[in-house]
A and B are shown apart, each in its own frame.
Chain A
Amino acid sequence: MRRKHVLSLLMLSMGVALLIAATTVGVASSANAKVSSAKSLKGGVLHVAQSAGSFDTLDPGLAYVTNDWEVLYSTGLNLVNFPNKAGQAGSQLFPEAAKSFPTISKNGTTVTFHLRSGLKFDDGSPVTAASYQRAWERILSPKMYAQYGIFDQLNKMVVGAQAFTDGKTQHISGISAKGLTLTFHLTKPNPTFVSILGMQWFNAVKPSMKYSKVSSGILKYPSAGPYYIATNQPGRTVVLKRNKYYHGPRLANPNEIVINSYPNSNGEAALLQIEKNQLDFDMGGVPADDVAKVAKTYGGPNKGQFHVGGQACIIWEAFNNAKAPTNNVNVRKALNYAIGRTPIIRLLGPYAGSASDQILVKGLPGYKKFSAYGNYPNFAKAKAVGGSALNGAPALNIYYNQASTFRTNEAQFEKAQLAHIGLTANLEPSNPTDYYGPLETKGTDYNIAHSGWCADYFDPFDFINVNFDGRSIQPTGNVDYFYFNNSKFNSMMDHAASLSGTARANAYAALDKTLMTKYAPAFPLYVPTFRYLTAKRVKNVIYSNYFGYPILNAMSVG
């Protein structure tokens, strides 16, 4: 019996010791092995993690999420593209595969590009005008998993595109590809057309690239940008290798870029690895809870390894306008008053961004700052606005990504705020490897879901029409997570899109305000920043305001 007591005490002591030890250890001592730095920018393997997420797809005909585009920017070759420059200069398009910006006919409806000669895919085959014709077909074809081009109304932009989208023709009649000459016949003059071609949907693809009916698309295919996809294991690993045929101005510093996705990780492990130089960069950024500590350790933002970059994005909570009780405008307005923006931003730690309760972001034509609901919770106003719609309302389903500590906290915070106005809520964690799938599918039972929108191109159409035109809602593959469809507002959007210049900007400013004050289909939350840490060995960190990410192919570990 005495021996048993001794063993029990020993066991207890060991447990206590292990628990205390767990609070003091960081990563293994072997982690201190530092990678030697070299003067050359080229060479080496850039090790990247993607915490709390994974790539939906790296098929340019289906990719529509910022992290997907971050990779496609390194692999794709567009007619016009963004240079590897920081700041505003990095958001100015330059002719890349095209010899120059296009010639446009006097009536503005014929746009002609002449491609550079000698451009090649990584398999050595030439890039021709047909490569871009195929890219257009893949973004609009009914043979694809989703026709994302419809959301940007590409089907109405080019002659014959609607018939092609409807499956009535094999090719888009308004796109002519002859050798290195590519001609678009537009239905009407479009001042944003060239900007649209900077989207990663329009990476050069081989004319023989097949359509795909699966959401992950085609995993590997020849590409003509600085890198090509050598390995693509969905949800796990992507390896990019340098394309020896790319001779353009964009950088191709690392020999390889290895990206490992950890959809179930909140980023703590990656952060420790970066601090120990075992990892170069985490696409998930610094976990919200660690930002203050990291900023303090590395002397504040943009002074060394810790970086903060702006983003042309608006983060919002999408209200499902097709499901009770968020199908009621008074409930949606009440939520806009009750939840509170600034307290949620505080959950993100310092340098997270600035509160906003409008859809458009600064820098877009038509942006006019207003505040419809305020940044702090106002329960009295919420109850007054919600009125009887709040009485007996069914419980709201708050859908969130449980791998993210911030989003989990945000969901809990929102549930607590809802209780102040008499609403109940269920917390519905997502499948970490497929957060957006249910949002893209019509009829899913969420009421509130965290998401956001970043500029595809700098035009208000991309924020307003793309997200709130309910006529484009399909069974799957939607980007309108609000399922908002209002005929009157649709007409107003059509009118705004038909305008140009100052009239267009003013029309979109009015739309922005009307949308939020009259319909409140969303809870705009904040204009975010991207806060990230790079390993000590990483040099040449160039942040792209357009993508809201540092440019992978520019990073140097050589």
Chain B
Amino acid sequence: MSVRVDTPDAVGLSVGDAPSEPEAVKARGYWELIWIRLRRDKIALVSFGFIVFLFASAFAGAPLAAHLLGHGPNTQFGYGVSYPSYVPVGPWTYVSKAPYYGVPHPGRYGHTLFIFGGADQLGRDLFLRILYGAQVSLEVGIFATVGSVTIGVLMGLLGGYFRGWIDTIVSRMIEIVMVFPYLLFIIALRIVAGNALNKITLGFLPSGVFTLALIFTAFGWFYPARIMRGVVLSLREKEFVEAARMTGASDWRIMRSHLLPHLMAPIIVYSTILVAQNILGEAGLSFLGLGVGADVPSWGNLLQQAPSYYQTDVWILLFPGFAILFTTIAFNLLGDGLRDAFDPRSTI
């Protein structure tokens, strides 16, 4: 039987021991308890490790690989497609660096290696595109999640804490966003302002990432808002809030210093799940041609071209497919592990 650490039984004494020198009992903090619970969840830890690896691969590994290979993810090699089959070359293939197929003496341009994944239909290195695609997926996932959760927490706090007409407005806004046909909206937005929005890169984002993050934020904040509102409605009646109010704390201070820390657990748990949802959303919309720019390497864009080659170059489908699958599962499993870790009723 395990013993709850926050009970007096947990002092480590066994019956019959001589009470010689009383050991100093070190109280375990809130975050320490969470870490103890989390580290026992091997699946969550593996998932976390995978996510760290993914970040490292995307933001450090991709440029490093491009540097070592001597070409970028958008470099097109005429000899990356084999003729007369018109099929992209497969993994571990040396191809001429000649700028186009049919150039006289292509060997004089030297060769490059497609290590893993082969080429796509424009003769680009699929391995590099998958690595750089991870950047796009993570950027969309993280930015949209930060946006959604920030708005959601703010709205949930305001509605749950103040109640009354503010809560009514927040609740109705949540309901409107919930029922809004956002896919149709995206299609319409894409037609009306897509090209203009895609030019917004903030100086460092690929074309279309900002647009997607904006859309996912606009239509993703309602669920965290509902969760936070429910939690705050409960918390605002607790004694510690009453005590704070009696000491003259302002509403803003109560929300910031007393309520917000209690929301950290649901925020962290929901954020991990939302990242996975947004990555899937990016892939789905890019697959439909509504996502990032056509030349931006993203997993959705890579999948979009896969149907043409699913019988001949199956890796074009499998590699980005596996990348999306493992990434979303990793975020979901980490979220699941964090949920358990944050649960005070969980045993350690």
Contact = CB atoms under 8 A, between A and B. Distances in A.
A342 B308 contact: no
Contact of A343 (B101, B191, B309, B340): B101
Interface string A407-428: 0110111011000100000111
B308 A268 contact: yes
Contact of A350 (B84, B198, B307, B311): B84
Given A4-B43, A19-B318, A427 B84 contact: no
Given A23-B310, A292-B85, A427-B295, A409 B321 contact: no
Contact of A289 (B42, B76, B308): B308
B121 interface: yes
A426 B199 contact: yes
A72 to B, nearest CB: 28
B344 interface: no
Interface residues of B, number: 50
Contact of A413 (B122, B308, B311, B340): B122
B122 A412 contact: yes
A264 interface: yes
Given A413-B76, A427-B293, A427-B295, A15 B86 contact: no
A275 B198 CA distance: 38
Contacts of A289: 86, 121, 305, 308-309
Nearest to A268: B307
A293 B312 contact: yes
Contacts of B40: 1
A376 B98 CA distance: 12
A409 B121 contact: yes
Given A23-B318, A408-B294, A292 B307 contact: no
Nearest to B336: A4
Nearest to A5: B43
Interface in B77-96: 78, 81, 83-87
A23 B317 CA distance: 7
**Residue among B76, B198, B199, B314 with most chain A CB within 10 A:** B76
B329 interface: yes
B74 A416 contact: yes
B338 to A, nearest CB: 13
Interface string A1-41: 10011001001100110011011000000000000000000
B281 to A, nearest CB: 17
Contacts of A349: 86
A287 B310 CA distance: 14
Given A350-B86, A416-B74, A429-B194, A290 B121 contact: no
Contacts of B103: 376
A346 interface: yes
A402 B289 contact: yes
A405 B289 CA distance: 10
A415 B207 CA distance: 14
Contacts of B288: 264
Contacts of A492: none
Contact of B76 (A23, A397, A416): A416
Interface in B140-164: none
A549 B100 CA distance: 32
Contacts of B307: 268
Contacts of A290: 308
A426 B76 contact: no
A538 B37 CA distance: 67
Contacts of B75: 416
B107 interface: no
B86 A409 contact: no
Nearest to A269: B307
Contacts of B317: 19, 22-23
A403 interface: yes
A346 B195 contact: no
Contacts of B311: 293
B233 to A, nearest CB: 30
A415 to B, nearest CB: 6
Nearest to B88: A289
B124 to A, nearest CB: 9
A347 interface: yes
A291 interface: yes
Contacts of A293: 311-312
Q: Is the interface of B mostly helix, strand, loop or mixed?
A: loop
Given A23-B314, A377-B100, A411-B294, A429 B43 contact: no
Nearest to B293: A427
Given A289-B121, A343-B100, A402-B289, A426 B321 contact: no
Contact of A346 (B99, B101, B310, B336): B101
Given A5-B43, A346-B101, A412-B295, A16 B308 contact: no
Interface string A176-204: 00000000000000000000000000000
B347 to A, nearest CB: 9
A412 B207 CA distance: 13
B310 A402 contact: no
A87 B106 CA distance: 40
A327 interface: no
B41 interface: yes
A97 to B, nearest CB: 42
Contacts of A1: 40-41, 340
B240 interface: no
A426 B195 contact: yes
Nearest to B194: A429
A20 B314 CA distance: 9
Contacts of B289: 264, 402-403, 429
B194 to A, nearest CB: 7
**Residue among B87, B100, B191, B194 with most chain A CB within 10 A:** B100
A1 B42 CA distance: 10
A23 B310 CA distance: 6
Contacts of B74: 412, 416
A431 interface: yes
Nearest to B103: A376
Given A4-B336, A426-B199, A22 B310 contact: yes
**Residue among B86, B309, B322, B336 with most chain A CB within 10 A:** B86
Contact of A8 (B76, B195, B333): B333
B228 to A, nearest CB: 26
Interface in A362-418: 376-377, 379, 397, 402-403, 405, 408-409, 411-413, 415-416
A505 to B, nearest CB: 34
B69 interface: no
B130 to A, nearest CB: 15
B99 A420 contact: yes
Contacts of A23: 310, 314, 317-318
Nearest to B289: A402
B102 interface: yes
A340 interface: yes
Contacts of B294: 402, 408, 411-412, 427, 429
Interface string B279-315: 0000000001100011100000000010111111010
A193 B10 CA distance: 103
A417 to B, nearest CB: 9
Interface in A426-460: 426-429, 431
Contact of B191 (A346, A408, A431): A431
Given A1-B340, A5-B43, A292-B87, 6 more contacts: A12-B325, A12-B326, A22-B310, A343-B100, A347-B122, A350-B84
30 contacts: A8-B333, A11-B329, A12-B326, A15-B325, A19-B322, A22-B321, A23-B310, A23-B314, A268-B307, A287-B308, A289-B86, A289-B308, A289-B309, A291-B86, A293-B311, A342-B102, A343-B101, A405-B305, A405-B308, A408-B294, A409-B121, A409-B122, A412-B74, A412-B122, A412-B295, A415-B295, A416-B122, A426-B207, A427-B207, A427-B293
- Shortest beta-carbon contacts, A-B, top 7: A289-B308, A292-B86, A343-B100, A431-B191, A428-B195, A19-B321, A15-B325
